[in-house]
Amino acid sequence: MLKTLIAAALAAALAAASATLAQAADNPRPRAKGFTSKIGMHLIGAYTPGTQTMVRARCPVLKILDLSDDMLKAARDYKRFNPDGRVVLRVFHTRRYSLDDPPEATAEKHWKEVISAPIDKLAPADRKLIDYVEAINEMGECPTWESEQDTAWFTRFSIRFVELCSKSGFKPVLACIPVGNPPGDNAGVARILQYAPALRAAKKAGGCWSYHCYTIKYTTDSEVEIWYSLRYRKFYAAFTGPYADLKDMPMIMTEGGVDLAGNADKDGWQARGTAEQYKTWLKWFDSELKKDRYMIGVTLFQQGAKAAWGGWASFDHEPVAEWLASYWGKPAAD
């Protein structure tokens, strides 16, 4: 029955997808006052000089990995200079859940032991720095998009996560889909439509969802990038008919940039092109994001890991920190 319902809904959605895809970038709503870009930054590890420069500029969204002293310092400075900016928190963990784990109870355990445990140790002022909290990261932490059964589990898990996150005073970030996923024909739209109940729950709670938007070859051809950095538009193109209520579902892309296959030293922007190529691509990509009214922004991966422990060196943004700060501009109060 589930397969029949999904197939019927997918057929109806895809019948209008080509027209909807062309319209997905129309009628952009005004950006938050004072922000001229939808490009943000994903921080890891160290609060570097380059990071200090960037958080003092008009960066529209900032993601922090965990709640270390350096990440909190960065978030404090960012909110001081950008009180209307958005902070996304991801709590790193190594737990893995399976279909054998009951989804709602697993969400409750995950929230209590992984998410809430470090947040509850924060001072009230630091707690207020956090706007959004991620549920899980990509695939592998729990069942997600591998099959209908996996997505059904993930939907139930996500709905309960939304309830717990909202009750604690935060907005949820769901899905965090790795680039090129979900698998399957037409960008795995069937899995996305199956996941719609979770998206509706997040939307009602003021939350959003996430796709990880990497380009492979610095392409500025939207017909190519529709399968990579712009793949999320395929999902929105399917939000028609019974799914039309999701066509303005907010999205924050909590990873983005240049990547080939995830090799920390060989696949990031520094290893696969010049700084000028990267700047050119970022400006093009930003211009595309501004066309999508539902898009809050993207947090480029990553900044700080190289200084902290030598990690993700080819993805490090320290060499372009000054350029990004200039691109974003200074806060009005600066």
Name the residue ranges covered by the structural domains of the chain.
2-21+37-328
- Stretch 305-327: mean pLDDT: 98
- How much is the average pLDDT of 44-66? 98
The answer, yes or no, to whether residue 311 has pLDDT greater than 50, is: yes
The rounded distance, in Å, linking the Cα atoms of 291 and 28 is 5
Q: Higher confidence at residue 29 or residue 211?
A: 211
**Partners of 173 in the beta sheet?**
134, 208
Q: Give residue-wise pLDDT tens across range 228-268.
A: 999 999 999 999 999 999 999 999 999 999 999 999 999 99
Provide the pLDDT confidence category of residue 334 given band limits of 50, 70 and 90: low
CATH numeric code, 2-21+37-328: 3.20.20.80
| Residues whose CB falls within 8 Å of the CB of residue 209, separated by 6 or more in sequence, listed in order | 173, 174, 175, 199, 202, 249, 250, 251
Residue 19: the pLDDT is: 40
- Return the residue matching tokens 């539902």: 294
pLDDT score of 185: 85
**Residues 302, 313: Cα–Cα separation, whole Å:** 9
The first and second tokens of residue 89, run together, are: 């928190």
CA proximity to 304, closest of 23, 5, 53, 95: 53
User: Quick one: average pLDDT of 199-214?
Assistant: 98
